Amino acid sequence: MPELRTIVPPSPTRPPLGIRLLGGVLLTFSVGLVSCQAMFVL
């Protein structure tokens, strides 16, 4: 019988800080910008 530990899938790891920062910028640019534009529409 094989060792079961070897076939346990690895836990997901967090992306590196640079990638997360880039993601944060993209999120802020899209969600934040659209929200602010919506606020100033009137």
Partner 1 sequence: MAGPASTPPEQRRTLSLTELILGVRPDRHPDPDTNMPARGKPRAKGTLLFLLPIPLLIGALIGLGAGRLDVVLFDGGIFALFMAAADLTRRGLRAEHAQQILRFTRLQRIPLKTIGGLLTGVATGLAAWLSVGQGPALSLVYATVAMIGFHLVYGLEPLARARPFATDDERARKVAAALEEAERKLIDLDRAATTIANPELKIRLQRIGSQGRSILNQIADRPTDLFRARKFLSVYLDGVQQVADGYARTHRLADSRELEQNFRNVLVTVEQVFDEQHQRLLKTDVMDLDIQIEVLKKQLEREGIQ
Cβ-based neighbours of 26, under 8 Å, separated by 6 or more: none
Q: How far is the CB of 35 from partner 1 (least distance, A)?
A: 4
CA distance 5 to 21: 34
Q: How far is the CB of 8 from partner 1 (least distance, A)?
A: 5
Q: How far is the CB of 28 from partner 1 (least distance, A)?
A: 6
* Token pair in block for residue 37: 């534009």
Cβ-based neighbours of 14, under 8 Å, separated by 6 or more: 20
Interface with partner 1, residue 17, by CB under 8 A? no
User: Which chain residues interact with partner 1 by CB under 8 A?
Assistant: 1-5, 7-9, 11-12, 14-15, 19-20, 22-32, 34-42
